[in-house]
Structure 1
Amino acid sequence: MQSHATLDPRQMRLHAATVQAPLGAPRDTWLLPDGSTWCEIHGGDGHYRMRFPDMADFVVDVAGGLDCYPAPGTDAHTVQHLHLNQVVPAVLSLLHRPVFHAGAVAMDSGAAAFVGVSGRGKSTLVTHLALHGHALLTDDGLELTAEGDHFLAQPAHPSVRLWEDSRKALLPDDAQRAPALPYTVKERFVDEQLIPCSRDPLLLRRAYFLGEGHASDVRIEAMTPQEAHMAWVRHAFLLDPHDPARMRSLFAQVAAIAEQGLTYRLDYPRRYDALGDVREALREHAGDSD
């Protein structure tokens, strides 16, 4: 529960189930890959309503806190998942804290992030790496915080989400599943004995933007600061892309990240039997840190 003037998006007031009343035209709309509506954003100027149709409304007041109004029939696990995976990253962006569509794991030299749109294999890759000695920081929703001239990758809640084919290829049948969600066939796993997780922020040493999987072998190529800048912007969580102040701060943040010279393209064959080669290539590349 929260009643502070400073918004902490990880805290939330949960209200009784409420029928979603009709609203006007949204300020912005998030779409699913099939083109259907995933989330409507209403409001502005520090007060927003994030509507997930037929599931829940989350009301964000920068000066007052975060409230959730589940739709009738929405279970607690769905509310929790929407809150942690969608609302928290979006609200952090509203608070001028950079969050990206990326997974991350611990490497010997620090954190390695894997950035990409849905379907590029982020979860499969970070799960494979976590199973082979590289503790998970986040499956998606990577928050970065500045520390001097560098950036720290912050750990998120300890779980991964996998399609059935990835689950069968990577995990044993008795891996601990979280309760199923009504809007996706992806399965979520929270077995920390199987998938080790990092609880501490780590210095970001490498960031890899995932290609489409057309490469015949593992390929890692450096990106120029200009290429890196635009790539980071495209993969940022943004609750209000129409807020000039937030966009200015985002561009300044990603410019500082891009100038670190830690951003690369990564492409490899999208086959499970190629993941071992990817892991070894990443170990060699990340170990080249200065």
Structure 2
Amino acid sequence: MPPLHQWTLPDGSPWCVVHKLAGHYRMRFPGLADYHVHVDGRVDCHPVPGVDAPTLQHLFANQVAPAALSLQQRAVFHASALAIQGGAVAFLGESGRGKSTLATFLARCGHPLLTDDGLELQQAGDTLLALPNQPSIRLWEDSRTALLPATAAPLPAVSYTTKARFHADRLLPFANAPAPLRAAFFLGEGHADTVRLEPLSAQQAHLAWVKHAFLLDVHDQDTLRRHFHQVAALAQRGISYRLDYPRRYDVLPQVEAALLQCLSRHHASQ
């Protein structure tokens, strides 16, 4: 039976293969585990023998749970987010674009972290809230060395990545309460020679939000219709921007300054 769809790694190898079965979806992470996600929200885990508990827990929290939430008509995106100037600011981008590095730097500057990945948005009247997620952050070794104190102790290692995990609320300010979403920045490839920030049109924003959504069933018409309306409403808010900058740690203070200036202009225009 062909898969419903599959997520791939940057080298093109399969990362997660999704099949729709009777009453549930099977998310298979080759060599690691199968997760059976039921339409009522239940999740069963069937690990490959020998896979450690931290790996299984991390897969569930960062991959399976957000996908399962999409079956409950909840809007979840691949994004980091922080509470800045009284509202939530999200950073979206493909793996390797620097979401966690930027989020860690900004948190070290005093802006509380909402989530390192897996941003859930919830409508509350006319306000769109960004919900806090688990207080942890993942960093490559160079970012860990540049941004965290040498005494920072990592959480137990995850077998499928060399990224180190850290309990964020022991190192960074963490936001425990939802915050209204004020802006979203989609990260470029890092080819810019300086900090570049520009607003996205509604059409550009729509495509960008769709690209970074967690969707378990990409063929179900009801799911796609609902998701289309969620994303269309997001795109029409005029809060979506493209952000690119040289991927150097000495540029990050300039990125923060540009973000704060953009947020101030956006707030003044409302």
Q: What TM-score comes out, normalization by structure 2 length?
A: 0.95
1:266 counterpart letter in structure 2: L
Instruction: Tell me which residue corresponds to 2:111.
Output: 134
Q: Distance in 2 between matches of 1:61 and 1:128?
A: 38
Matches within 5 A, 1:1-290: 24-44=1-21, 46-63=23-40, 65-288=42-265, 289=267, 290=270
User: Partners of 1:276 and 1:46 in 2: how far apart?
Assistant: 50
Runs of 5+ in structure 1 lacking a partner?
Answer: 1-23
**Offset at residue 46 of structure 1 (A):** 5.0
CA RMSD for the aligned pairs?
Answer: 1.3
Conservation of the 8 A alpha-carbon contact between 1:30 and 1:37: yes
Contact 2:130 2:181 in 1 (8 A): yes
**SS in structure 1 of the partner of residue 80 of structure 2:** strand
* Segment drifting more, 197-206 vs 42-51: 42-51
Instruction: Compute the displacement of 1:101 (Å).
Output: 1.1
Higher percent of residues as helix:
2
For residues 248-277 of structure 1, the C-alpha deviation after alignment (integer angstroms, 9 at most, x for no partner) is 111100111111111111111111000011
Q: 1: CA distance between counterparts of 2:183 and 2:135?
A: 21
One-letter amino acid matched to 1:176: A
TM-superposed deviation, 1:149: 2.5
How many corresponding residue pairs? 267
List structure 1 runs of 4+ shifted beyond 4 angstroms: none
Deviation at 1:45, TM superposition (A): 7.0
Conserved 8 A contact 1:139-1:160:
yes
Q: Per the alignment, in what secondary structure is the counterpart of residue 192 of structure 1? A: helix
Distance 1:258 1:46 in 2: 33
Question: Within 1, Cα distance between the matches of 2:169 and 2:208?
Answer: 32
**Matching residue's letter, 2:18:** I
Distance in 1 (alpha carbons) for counterparts of 2:86 and 2:148: 27
In the alignment, the residues of structure 1 paired with residue 21 and residue 79 of structure 2 have an alpha-carbon distance, to the nearest angstrom, of: 26
More displaced stretch, 63-72 vs 90-99: 63-72
Compared CA separation, residues 65 and 221, structure 1 to 2 (3 A): same
Give, in angstroms, the shift of residue 26 of structure 1.
2.0
Q: Compared with structure 1, are the counterparts of its residues 140 and 191 closer, same or farther at alpha carbon in structure 2 (3 Å cutoff)?
A: closer
* Matched letter for residue 75 of structure 1: D
CA distance in structure 2 between the aligned counterparts of 1:222 and 1:63, rounded to whole angstroms:
39
- Report the Cα distance in structure 2 between the residues aligned to 1:141 and 1:96, rounded to whole angstroms: 15
| Letter paired with 1:164 | E
Q: TM-score, normalised by structure 1?
A: 0.89
Q: Cα gap change, 1:64/1:153 in structure 2, threshold over 3 Å: closer, same or farther?
A: closer
Say which is worse superposed, 278-287 or 241-250, in terms of deviation.
Answer: 278-287
Q: How much identity, in percent, do the aligned residues show?
A: 58
* Structure 2 residues not aligned, in runs of 5+: none
C-alpha distance in 2 between matches for 1:45 and 1:221: 46
On the 8 A contact 1:98/1:144 being kept in 2, the answer is yes
